[in-house]
Amino acid sequence: DSRERAEERQSYVSFGEDGTTVSINSYGHIMQISRFLGYGRSGFFCADSENISEPYYVQSRMEELMDLAQNPSEGIGLDFQDLVYSDKDKPSVEFIYDRWPRFELPNANIPKMSIQYFCNQGTVFQKYVLAFDKDTILPEALNRVRMDAKILIRNLDFVWNDTKFNESNQTVDRRSGPNHRSLIILHRITPGMVEQMGIEISKYVQGAGPKAAALIITPFAGGVAQTVRDHEGDWYIELSKEVKDNFIKSGRIDISMGYRLQLLEENQKWINSTVPAAHLKHMSELFSSNKSFRKIRFSQHKQLDFIIRRNLEHILSVCCIPVPQSPILGNPEDTKDSDPSEVAITCGDISAHRVGPRAKRNEAQITPLEEPNEAQTPSPVLEDLKSMIRPWISKLDKSNDRGNYAFVQKFDKDASNHGFIEERTVQTDMKFGLADHVLICLAIKCVEDLGLDDTICLTHEEELNRDEQEDEYFILNQYSYKEVRRNVLKRFTAEGPLSKQRMLATCRTPGESRFLFHSKDTILFHIMNARFFQENTEDSKRNGKDKRLRESEEFWKYADDRWKNTVDAQAYHDEYQDLLWEKPLFHALIFILWCQRRGVNKSSFEEIFRSITKIFLERISWSGLLPGLLDEDQEPIPHRNEMDRDSYWHATFEIPYILWTYGRDNFDAQSSRKKGNQTTKDASNNPPGPQQAPRTSNLGDNTAGNLISLREATRTGQLSTKTVPFVNFNTLVDQKGIVEVADDWLQSGPAALDFSFKPRFEESKIAEELDSVQSLIKAEKGEFESERVIALDIESYRSREDFLRTSGIKGAVIDIGKGSSGEEIFERTQDTNGEILKSLEKRRTVQTAKKRIIWLPNGDKGTALLCCLASPELERDKMLHFLSRHAFHDKYFFDGATAALNEWETELHLSFFRCFKYSCEENTKLFLKDNGNGISNTSFVKIGARDGGLTTESIFLSQATMSFRFVGDFFDRFWTCHFLEHYRKECRDRLSKLSHTIHKSTGDPGQKKNPWQQRKVLELLLYNEMLEKIYDSTKEILDWVKVNLLDAGSLVDASFPLNPLAEAVRGGIQLLRQGTSENYFHIIENWRLFEQILQAIEDDLSGNIERMDQWSRREEERESERPRWTRKDEKRYRAAIIKITVLNQRKARDIVRLRASIKAFRESLPGRLESIRNDISFRGSENINLFTYVTVVFLPLGFATGVFSMSGPPNRQTLERMVVLAFIAIGLTIFALANAKTTGKAVVRPII
């Protein structure tokens, strides 16, 4: 039944030559004539019925053409009225020389009728031959034959909808040609249509170039042009008397219609308005019996041979369109010698000559390449090819910004309509196809085989990472077949869900991996002879040289286990159990697998072969084309949606290749069996005709036997390695810390780490960038209603030359490239702002700057501006916040790892106080010179030298901040670190100190890589630097306070540093020495100042300790969002991380103890002062007692003196007695004071 339906199935027929193509329906009528004239955007013009939609409406036009293919009364041709056409008539078609279609139309009224088509020099000939019985009277319908003149000429542009040329019918004119020998259907090109058609308006106005597109129709009878007349809007052919007389004699009449689609200039020659009869003679000469034609036989199977021959002819004559250098104008004789240098391979006439994504512009002439010879001039073909390789590899490199050699390339369905020769592509969803990557890899291999390696290699400027020019094709990654192949196989290797074996996924997305073959994966089998999936073993290379060994057997014997597992796993998919698919390529894929003896279901090879034969060979069209889509009944149908047209037309071309390449032997064997030859020897021999490439499906008929032999021949098990690593303590790992995250390349990189971003520091673009940053700063100030936004030095940078001339070392930009040895941090020199700009303005690549450290110990506002400008647009807001927190001495900690966004961000700010001492007079200016031009705002307090103080130096207490920010991907492969501090020491000394810390903490003589390259290690190292600075600076201030409050002189002999006992003794002695009223008032005067300082330092340390606690809990708070940490990382960096973590914990405890010391000192000093005050009070009471004693003695003397003074002057005796009494009183007083304590104890004692 299916065979009968195939014989009854009617379809369209196509043919063409040199850019002119014709589509004919199943009744021999022309549906459309297309010709590439090289004028306008598409270059194509077509002539079709006015009932057909415009080319822009792709789907409706396709459906209308398919309906027209089955209509016996519609189409371009002659109208014989009811004399010929009938729905019951079943026409047949055959091809002359496999190209020119000939229709036989059986009819009850006409014994014999045929329509023969031919094309020559852009002219299409439609030859009607009607044969009647002799003595038949000429039918009335042949006295005046009506022509179909309801034809429209359109610009074959399916991209743009606003083409007035296709919409307007007012500019269409129908007129007769010279001497009424032709019909001219003219479509004028008005000035309003020029731009829409992609024509330069300047050329049109100058008068040069075409002004109309026309279809010239000339009727011939007996080789002579006939008269064309217009009657009431219809056009008729008036046959000459000679033609009618000849009919009466022979009963036969032939009418040939010549159609030529062309462009018309303003001043046309008359010959351009008609079809010369000489062109018709080419048809007679070609079809004469004297013309020899060698028929190439591709297969012994008749139907397969017809399919291959017709498809080859269809591709060469209909799909291959020569592209001339200039538009085709006027008489074709004037342009026949033009040799187009390019050929566009299209999808054919019905597709409006669309160029699919798998077709490219190719050279029209195939030239054999000679062996390279230095003395010879390079081949022009190679030179042209060389000019195309660099742009292609440069475009490829732009999608390889992370150096994974994983290329996302998906055709945008909306953009796919906008081009004839070239296809616009956009990067949409993250989808990676194995077939695409394999083809890219093999293309690189072809470049290497042709000796054009220099076109895909890095130039000297690219190796130095110099900035690329806009007009040049730069590449930033290394491309070689070996490297790209290794990465492709690695990226697509995954574990099978059922077999748990390593397999190659055919498609990968961030959410899933597909192992099922799809229709476009047939290319993976076509390239098996390229040995992409073979293991690189000596046996495979040695056997690969033996061409007598059948390549299928050799391939599967040495094929990569991952590829074999993928092919064998197809049997586990339900999709292959029932052979009911809409896409015919799925049937072809099953056919390939069975021809390779890789079964996918329980069906035998004979059943599969029978099914494929039924689907394909019995469903071919009259043109020999195979279906591109099937319905539920497995019957051919056109594509249902214009978005599917590329896959539809691609299937029609690829399936014949699959049938012939993989199943030719089986078809030949089937044909031999039908002829009675049961041996398979003849079936395995090459058929007569041209020699073909080695076959990939010649495995014989013993399916089970060959399959078993192949599997037995393959190597089983795993190879044993030459060395086995010894398990010692250095290889022990903590399983809890391992976070295995595979296939990180499938994720998009974080927005803050865009390798495709190029900072715009050029003078022509910097103004726009500065305005953007300034607007961002204003927006931040307005949002938070605060001035706590860093004031970047924007205005000074507008004068670029002055900015770059600023001197002073600011920091360093340390780039860590792929495969780095880790010596950058030790070899890097310090940079100025100008040198930092040069480092940041280069495009960052994985090869040169996979990881980057921007370390700014002496940075200023200009350096901060450079960091902001060098950040991608989406990162600038966060960078501005980071710089602002540092500038305003905030204490801040944030650690966020988000797997879904592929981001890992860590930010830490710790601020503290530092002490500076200056002894010169202009100390404030000196301090501001050293500390006033940093990124952070200058905040200080000056304590001048005091009279009677222990020092003459002025003390400056300033606030300092150390900050770092890491931003990278969740998988810890790429990151950027900004490390800011304000330390005026030389950068080289700081680098040396950091290097010493790295070696001291992580040094391992046997380690291949420096641990600081690992983010987790570098974070801890920077954190250690911050803790050390906090401790040292705070301890220095505390010591300074103690020195100024207490006498630092020591009366004890003790070694330094002091132990707790010595410290206590020293404190006691200092307290005894300062227990006087003079020292007390000096201490209490200083204490009122230093108490506030200690309180501020203690509060500042409390804020830092809070952030330190958050830092120590960061791993726990991440929970499930823990960044990638592999077993290899654990082995390599575990020791370093443990060492530095212990150091940091110890330093953190020191800071906590330091805060406790400050608090203890601050709280103990008031008690000490109270003790001194009590001592002073007690001493005062003792002095009062002594004064009482003196008063008791001298009071009587005073009374006596008063008595004596009341009388006259005392006599000499009285005076002498008074002096003696005074001396006695003084002596007694001195004795009493000297023995006050002893006398007091003896006299004053308890009664009991």
Confidence of residue 1043 (pLDDT cuts 50, 70, 90): confident
**pLDDT for position 15:** 95
Percent of the chain whose pLDDT exceeds 70: 69
Look up the pTM and report it.
0.72
Mean pLDDT on 1019-1042: 91
Confidence of residue 727 (pLDDT cuts 50, 70, 90): very low
Between residues 500 and 910, the one the model is more confident about: 910
Mean pLDDT on 38-67: 90
**pLDDT for position 362:** 39
DSSP letters for 1050-1099: --S---SSPPHHHHHHHHHHHHHHT-SHHHHHHHHHHHHHHHHHHHHHHH
For residue 748, is pLDDT > 80?
A: no
CA 1199 from centroid of its chain's CA atoms: 114
Q: How far is it, in rounded angstroms, from Cα 438 to Cα 465?
A: 29
Whether domain 2-288 has CATH 1.20.120: no
Q: How far is it, in rounded angstroms, from Cα 1029 to Cα 914?
A: 9
DSSP letters for 173-187: EEEE-GGG--EEEEE
For the chain, which residues make up each domain, given as ranges?
2-288, 751-1164
For residue 1160, is pLDDT > 90?
A: no
Ranges 77-91, 552-566, 587-601, 680-694: which has the least confidence: 680-694
**pLDDT for position 1224:** 79
Confidence of residue 1028 (pLDDT cuts 50, 70, 90): very high
Q: How far is it, in rounded angstroms, from Cα 1170 to Cα 310?
A: 115
Mean pLDDT on 537-563: 63
Ranges 361-365, 783-787, 975-979, 1146-1150: which has the least confidence: 361-365
For residue 226, is pLDDT > 80?
A: yes
Between residues 221 and 1197, the one the model is more confident about: 221
- Count Cα atoms within 13 angstroms, Cβ side, for 1241: 3
Mean pLDDT on 387-415: 75
Q: Which two tokens stand for residue 506?
A: 């055919």
CB 299 within 8 A of CB 661: no
**1236-1243 and 1127-1206 helices, crossing angle to 10°:** 80
Q: How far is it, in rounded angstroms, from Cα 1230 to Cα 401?
A: 101
**pLDDT for position 31:** 95
Q: How far is it, in rounded angstroms, from Cα 761 to Cα 843?
A: 11
For residue 1081, is pLDDT > 70?
A: no
**pLDDT for position 995:** 55
Ranges 441-455, 497-511, 1198-1212: which has the least confidence: 1198-1212
Between residues 219 and 670, the one the model is more confident about: 219
For residue 932, is pLDDT > 50?
A: yes
Mean pLDDT on 201-217: 78
Q: How far is it, in rounded angstroms, from Cα 147 to Cα 157?
A: 27
For residue 36, is pLDDT > 90?
A: yes
CB 220 within 8 A of CB 186: no
Between residues 597 and 446, the one the model is more confident about: 446
How high is the mean pLDDT of the chain? 76
**pLDDT for position 868:** 87
- Count Cα atoms within 13 angstroms, Cβ side, for 1204: 17
**pLDDT for position 996:** 57
Between residues 485 and 577, the one the model is more confident about: 485
Give CA separation, 561 vs 503, 523, 1009, 1173, in Å.
8, 19, 33, 92
Confidence of residue 1067 (pLDDT cuts 50, 70, 90): low
1045-1055 residue pLDDT tens: 765 444 445 55
Percent of the chain whose pLDDT exceeds 90: 19
For residue 117, is pLDDT > 90?
A: yes
Q: Indicate the burial class of 690 (C-beta count within 10 angstroms; 0-12, 13-18, 19 or more).
A: exposed
CB 501 within 8 A of CB 565: yes
**pLDDT for position 1052:** 47
Mean pLDDT on 1080-1101: 80
Confidence of residue 984 (pLDDT cuts 50, 70, 90): low
Between residues 603 and 998, the one the model is more confident about: 603
Confidence of residue 217 (pLDDT cuts 50, 70, 90): very high
**pLDDT for position 1237:** 61
**pLDDT for position 562:** 92
**pLDDT for position 359:** 56
Give CA separation, 192 vs 99, 189, 213, 327, 812, in Å.
40, 8, 15, 20, 61
Amino acid at 76: I
**pLDDT for position 987:** 53
406-415 residue pLDDT tens: 888 654 444 3
Q: How far is it, in rounded angstroms, from Cα 65 to Cα 324?
A: 28
Altogether, the residues listed in the chain come to a count of: 1248
Ranges 18-32, 440-454, 460-474, 862-876, most confident: 18-32
Confidence of residue 466 (pLDDT cuts 50, 70, 90): low
Mean pLDDT on 94-122: 88
**pLDDT for position 623:** 84
For residue 924, is pLDDT > 50?
A: yes
Mean pLDDT on 808-828: 77
**pLDDT for position 1186:** 67
Mean pLDDT on 552-558: 73
